[in-house]
Chain A
Amino acid sequence: MRVLLVDDMAVNRKLLRWMLQEDEHETIEASNGEEAVALFESEQPDLVLLDVIMPVMDGYETARVIKQKAGERYVPIIFLTAISDDDALAKCLASGGDDFLTKPFNELILQAKIKAHSRIQELSDQLNEKNKTLMYYQEQTQREHEIVEHVFNNALSESFLDSGNLDYYMSPMSAFNGDVMLSAASPSGGLYVMLGDFTGHGLSAAIGALPVSRVFFAMTKVGASIGDIAAEMNKNLLNLLPDYMFCAATITEINETGEELVMWCGGLPDAVITKPSGDVDRFVTSMHMPLGALDEYEFERDVYTLKMSQGSRLFLHSDGMIESTNKHGEMFGEERFHALFQEKSVLASSNKVKSIIEHFNEYVGSGDEQDDDISLVALECKPVKGVLIDDKKDGDILTNSPSWKVRFEISPEQMRAGDPPSDILNMLGSSAGLASHKDYLHTIITELYLNALEHGVLNLPSSLKSEEDGFLAFQAEKESRLECLADGKIVAVLSLVNLEDRPGVKIWIQDSGQGFEYQSIEAANDDDCFGRGLMLIRSLCDDRLSFKDGGRVVEAIYSL
């Protein structure tokens, strides 16, 4: 050990130096407090032997300064003193001393004290080291949590949460929620909602929310069925999660009118359906195992289809709520939960979720930490207000984009083999501003192309279609004529044009046929099975449809 000896009497220092060197300690010496402080800083001793009464700076003051400079490190200070009255000794300890040694010095006692304090120092050093490591890990974990939180927020932000049909309360037990709620508008105008509860809580449980949300958003976007969504999630979780982890979930879709609910229920507590009056109507019991539990071939995708009356509601909740305990350790329980729906204040409230949660919080009391993630979701059965796509934006993009004109020439070979309208659309659909019009442009181009092919190039009379089985005859005739078609062509020219106040797409199609009476292919009444194509085009193009050259050329302009 490196020991700092502080005494104004050289003889005392000498004596101590001998004793210490015998024990192979290294010594440095100071004759007053000021020197001692300077040496303490420059030499960093492990232990200080300090006289009390010295010139310049006395022992008490020196001890205070040294302890302050030592900071977190434990550097024992042993006072050397001739006095033995209690007050003076107490003052030594109060000023920062750790022990004292009375003069005249006893070598054995000095050695014993140094040993004892070096043991404490060792422990203290170890503790400091461990604290540092812990601090490092804590900071690292916190940084990682921040990153993960960011990823989660982004992954779940796609959720369409401000639908007027949806009300919810979610309270995670820790920073990360093992319960996940997702919702999305369906392409057919309805609304998908999912509530999932992963085994456990915290980050390890929340991690499953990522693959689940990816599958959810990808599949709801294309309008997949509830059973298919459940099967795909199951497959993903099975591959990803360890065997003991899975996700209890209910996936449901309400249709546009709010009259039909389709539900896949796997492992969540019974869902509650209330009548428009608010009274409990019935319970929907889970019929499946949780997601991620069964192999693909065992998985069951059957769903409930429920007819709902306007104003009725579906309530989904995770087990966190019913398993919560009050301060006496009694569970909230399903019975109490179900009874809440009949509470006067809940029946009267328009915000059922809020009102139920208020009652629930009253029961479990405040202050106690939550034992699990708590979620409650209510879906009201009424017409779904969808997200409107703002197609005006496309118009703005196009006003500023370069004009274009594209010409396509379609040969008999291509008429037989391919699907020219789709090819044309695939090419143009990626251009800025056309994407959201792709479906209607597809309809227009297909109808015009089929007319040019069937009535122009192939010269088929549409009167064939007027009989009930005429469709089959028409198709057979079309195929055989197409098969032996040697020459003939269809030319399509598409261009970006300016209508009065908006851009538009002009579709010009010419066929090599004889021309035809286009009036003859337009439906005369509601029950005619043919001739609806032109009506569709007229409607989609606001009547900007014209035939030229005896029906060989047709032109339609679609407003963007």
Chain B
Amino acid sequence: MPISAETSNDGKSVTIAISGQFDFNVVQEFRNTYMNIDTGQSHVVLDMREAEYMDSSALGMLLNMKKHLGVGDNSIRIVNCRPQVKKILDISRFDKKFQID
């Protein structure tokens, strides 16, 4: 599965791991992983370690997720980005909305 979610043992964080191409084709699957997260309980981490590529629709999907979860800026972490993915996030100034490590 290109997208999977895992809750940490203490329940305090949910890590969504994305692999392969992060684009429109996974919109439904991506949405399903965050629909039921209780943001009062846990914070969200996006692990991009295995994401080879993301396009502009994935950027939209990230913003959609943030809207849906109703959390403030910088409360969702995006980690382990490869340079090409990082560059897309940088160009789009996503560091204003997400905490990018």
Residues of A within 8 A of B (CB): 187-190, 223-225, 255-257, 259-260, 439-440, 442-443, 446-447, 450, 465, 468, 471-472, 475, 526-533, 535-536, 539-540
Q: How many A-B residue pairs have CB under 8 A?
A: 91
**Is the Cβ of B101 less than 8 Å from the Cβ of A536?**
no
Q: Smallest CB-CB separation from A467: which chain B residue?
A: B64
Nearest CB on B from A84, distance (A): 96
- Bound CA span A486–B85, Å: 35
- Cβ-neighbour of A443 out of B24, B63, B84 (below 8 A): B84
B43 interface residue (CB < 8 Å to A): no
**Contacts known (A223-B82, A255-B79, A475-B27); A527 close to B63, Cβ less than 8 A:** yes
A530 to B91, CA, bound (A): 15
Tell me if B12 is interfacial: C-beta within 8 Å of chain A. Answer: no
Are B80's CB and A223's CB within 8 A?
yes
Contacts known (A189-B83, A255-B80, A440-B84); A471 close to B96, Cβ less than 8 A: no
Residues of A within 8 A of B81 (CB): 188
Which residues from B are CB-within-8-Å of A465?
A: 60
- Those of B26-72 within 8 Å (CB) of chain A: 27-28, 31, 48-50, 53, 55-57, 59-61, 63-64, 67-68
Known: A471-B61, A475-B24, A475-B27. A532 touches B82 (CB 8 A): no
Residues of B within 8 A of A (CB): 23-24, 27-28, 31, 48-50, 53, 55-57, 59-61, 63-64, 67-68, 79-84, 86-88, 91-93, 96-97, 101
Is B82's CB under 8 angstroms from A188's CB?
Answer: yes
Given the interface pairs A255-B101, A532-B56, the reply to whether A471 lies near B64 with Cβ below 8 Å is: yes
Within the complex, the shortest CB–CB distance from A522 to chain B, in Å, comes to 11
Best-buried of A440, A443, A539 by chain B (most CB within 10 Å) = A443
The answer to whether A187 touches B61 (Cβ under 8 A) is no
Which chain A residues border B55 with CB–CB below 8 Å?
443, 446-447, 450, 533
Q: Which A residue's beta carbon lies closest to that of B97?
A: A526
Contact A533 B56 (CB under 8 A): yes
| Interchain CB contact under 8 A, A536 and B56 | yes
Shortest distance from the beta carbon of A514 to any chain B beta carbon, whole Å: 22
Tell me the complex Cα distance, A443–B90, Å: 14
Nearest A residue (CB) for B79: A255
Chain B residue contacts of A528, Cβ below 8 A: 63
Contact B60 A471 (CB under 8 A): yes
| B92 pairs with A472, CB closer than 8 A | no
User: Chain B CB within 10 Å — which of A188, A189, A223, A540 has the most?
Assistant: A188
Is there contact, CB below 8 Å, between B82 and A443? no
Q: Are B80 and A439 in contact (CB under 8 A)?
A: no
- 7 closest A-B pairs (Cβ-Cβ)? A533-B56, A439-B84, A529-B60, A539-B91, A532-B56, A187-B82, A188-B80
Min CB distance A434 to B, Å, is: 14
